[in-house]
Chain A
Amino acid sequence: MEFALVVTEGPFTRQSSATACRFARAAIARGHRVWRVFFFHDGVGNASRHIEPPGREHNAAGEWSALAREHGVDLVLCVTAAQRRGICAEALAPGFRIGGLGQMVEASIRCDRTLVFGG
């Protein structure tokens, strides 16, 4: 089965991003494909390469980057949501790219299931 994920919460205050990333790994481990993860609303904050949690705390951007590197998952930010929150292309961690809401709709049209994490 092909999945599209939508992450709508930021990297730290809520658990949504970490849950989404773990869901993606679990789905891939069971033979499914995560075709695209779209970051919308405050979810765009997960893409910042400046995230530096102390110690061994959850590093949202680092874990998403690893997922993209290991499994070729497409990580796309809503450009308007990103601009509103000061996330520019130069601030992105590896594996993320800036896109548009059309890519969220495209992913939902293509994939068998769309899951929203957050809200």
Chain B
Amino acid sequence: MGKLPLEGVRVLGMTVILAGPYSEMFLADYGAEVIRVESIQHFAPGTRGQYVWPPKGAPGYPNDDPGERPWNRHATFNSMARNKLAMTVDITKPEGMEIFKRLVRVSDVFISNYVPDVLDRLGITHEMLKAEKPDIIWAKISGYGDTGPYRDYRAQANGIDAIAGQASTRGYRDMDPSSGLPGASAADPAMGIAAVFAIVSALNYRDRTGKGQLIDMALSEQFITYNPQPFMDYAMNGRVQGTLGNRDPIAVPSGNFRCQGNDNWVSISVYNDEQWEGFCKVVAEEWVRDPLFKDALSRRKHEDELEKLVESWTKRHDYYEVMHRLQKVGVPAGPLLDEAAVFQDPQVKAREYLVEEYQEDTGTYLYPGAIAKLRNAPLTIRRPPVRLGEDNEYVYKEVLGISEPEYQRLTETGHIGTAYAPGVRAR
């Protein structure tokens, strides 16, 4: 194995919840030294769990037990915490801000996903960062962007889904959006991926020109680029698309159909006459030969009826069996996998997608592995999910060159620690 692509790049992350931490994981996986800048005086709900001290039965901890250090044990945080380092500092104090500035001086990239006005109040501005490191690359992630009337508005992925138009195109065809439909939070992971793309593109630009830059990343704008068909339809035809449910503008039938067993489902989509022929051969029942379904237009016209008949067939079959039989004749079909099924799935196993990670406060579990497989830079777990303040000694002493007595003093004054300060609460 050669050098990892991002070896030699140092990244500071002052990030919460998902979009920021998720991007940090990939930068770390690809070889960057990623240092999480955290504080033991401040707890951001949703990052290292919802609470400092969760109530009994709070979800997300091994064996439903938050344990002695819940902040190191939460599933969501740990799902994207490998290969990173973590340090603590209280940047609301002048000497803490000085430490942060010294870190900026020796870093290439800074990632943040706090609301812009929070950063303003902390004194973290592009001018300040550039004064410390003229070619710094700052990925500044926010809900709505770094300018405009919504600049300082609070956002969360489900709300982004609503304001970006996705929620209006999603839902059951016979129910309105307030009828208990699930929220959707894909805007966050989508941003994590975009941030890595943006940062590495900016590094490429910096290598050619010597210039760093601010990258202004709005969750809402990024997510709109995931859903262009309805926007193009409006721009070209003035049509306002609503929801199709699980139906497809091209394929008929297309949807999720109930199978044998308890709440098992298979998705099936038939895009053309060739696939319909294959489908008919497998199903081999009288109704598939009905002239009502002979071509795409008649199938579309009788879609309600067709869906009922498809389900009358799938209900008598196993969801995996339906996939294999239909795929063998070229018809796209696949089972809906719950978490238990993912661990048993032959494809997931064959690709060794899940990787073991051991962390002292959490134990050994299987984690999602490489999201893309690079042959010369395969995923390696150099470090397990990082614990709060785990790398204080390395960062303060080796990266910043702080002496032992000074380190002790900073510990005593509350910058350095591996547990939240007494009295720190979720809010």
Task: Report whether chain A binds chain B.
Answer: no
| Interface, chain B (partner A; CB < 8 A) | none
